[in-house]
Amino acid sequence: MHRTKRFRSRIVSFWLFFLLSAGICVSEPLSVSVRLTERLLPGEFDSGLYRGPSDLPFAEMDAGPVPELSCRSAVLIDDETGTLLFVKHGDEVIPPASMTKLVSLHLIYREIEEGRLSIDQEIIVPDFADFRSAPPRSSLMFLQAGQSVRLIDLMRGLALPSGNDAAVLVADLIAGSTPAYVAMMNDEMRRLGFSSIFFEDSSGYSEHNRATALDFARFARFYVDTHPESLKELHSLTSFSYPKTENENGVKAVYGSVTQPNHNSLVGRHPWVDGLKTGYIDESGYNVALTAETRGRRLIAVLMGGPGENSRDGDLYRVIDGTNLLSYGFYRFTVIIPDLPKLPPFSVIGGKERSVEVAVPLPDAQLLFTEELGELHCFFEAEAAVAAPVRKGEELGHLYLTAGDRLLASYPVRAAASVEKAGFFEQIFRALFR
């Protein structure tokens, strides 16, 4: 009789276990540690396409006081997360001026990667690329017909002194003519999804070239992520000299070897800035595309339509605006990779195994206000137990990462293995003799 009572008691316990297991389990906050991002790898792009503005999340939080800038238009992007940290009239169309040459540098790197050009190849300067053929007030690298130039030096002539003569030679080298090359530039902008960027010439001299700060900042991010070597090879250099004796090829240089500083005055002066490109024509005002990195975190900034009665004033405004915008991005925000807590195995009802291990995907980088670093928590939500059968990869719950009251991310919790359903008598036996 006592044995019968024990048997009934275990049957009751068995069904109570099933009924109680139907509830939802929401955890108390779990501890979460973080590590600041180290040097981060460039993002991957579907089919070589860079996505449009809708895929760049804006920092949906009150960022507090923002910098007062003198330029007409400005955009600041966190490189790793793609988050827009600051926008001022980001859709205003302004001629990019010599920032145009970044697109030429991208096309040169593409030609090198695809084997059609070599970075050390020697090129003989044709008559039409001679610096004396350039329009008035052109920036120049001082190419002379009959002299030779290595491709890497031609690229530096584009990047540092912003040579319009270099832009003419590059157009002929890649496409055979400037009109064909400009068509190639526009095709590439359309392919990448930068719909506001359009060129009528390859040097940036034309007032009919157009771009928005938003699209050009997105292109600058693409350029840095796709060609990171360009920062060391080109944009972080503080000066450039041409021609040297070995370039003369029997043609004496009119002005000798001309050494010119990088037109980007922040390079070499601001410890974090290592690129990218300035630009100016009367119709645009003073433009600059900047990139800077510190502690493994990189920002991209584009400022367009800066004021200035002369080049000295315009450059000063660019330096002040650029420094203020980068400081805002680095000090107001930080990027972390959360170390999510390890979750215990899930209980399995009616399975051949009593529990199943679970897996959480590797967390992606998260952008925070600096003061939110001490407010990170994880919450776990799932059924208290799952019924067999369980399939590997099956979603069993979610892990939520929050900063204060703000949800940062939701991670699916999945079964790390399969658990088959136990037979009826095996389930009864386990319920009775656990």
Stronger pLDDT, 120 or 63, i.e. the higher one: 120
Return the closest-CA partner of residue 101 out of 194, 235, 218.
Answer: 235
Residue 229 CB-density burial (10 A; 0-12 exposed, 13-18 middle, 19+ buried): exposed
In tens, the pLDDT along 42-69 reads 222 222 222 223 334 444 455 557 899 9
Mean pLDDT of 399-409: 90
The confidence score (pLDDT) of residue 425 equals 59
Sheet with 285-294, side-by-side order of all strands:
84-88, 73-78, 297-306, 285-294, 273-281
Q: Which of 91-95, 192-196, 340-344, 355-359 has the lowest mean pLDDT?
A: 340-344
Checking if the pLDDT of 255 tops 80, the result is yes
Establish whether the linkage from the previous residue to 307 is cis, with ω within 30° of 0.
no
Q: Which of 134-138, 142-146, 185-189 has the lowest mean pLDDT?
A: 134-138
Q: Which residues contact 65 (CB under 8 A, 6 or more apart)?
A: none
pLDDT confidence tier of residue 340, bands split at 50, 70 and 90: confident
In tens, the pLDDT along 270-317 reads 999 999 999 999 999 999 999 999 999 999 999 999 999 999 999 999
| pTM of structure | 0.81
For the chain, domains (ranges, CATH) are 19-38+340-432 (2.60.410.10), 49-335 (3.40.710.10)
Active site residues: 98, 101, 162
Annotated binding site: 277
**How far is it, in rounded angstroms, from Cα 307 to Cα 391?**
63
pLDDT confidence tier of residue 413, bands split at 50, 70 and 90: very high
| Mean pLDDT taken over the chain | 86
pLDDT confidence tier of residue 429, bands split at 50, 70 and 90: low
Annotated binding site for substrate: 277
In tens, the pLDDT along 17-38 reads 333 333 444 454 454 544 443 2
The confidence score (pLDDT) of residue 382 equals 85
Q: Which tokens in the block code for residue 357? A: 């291990």
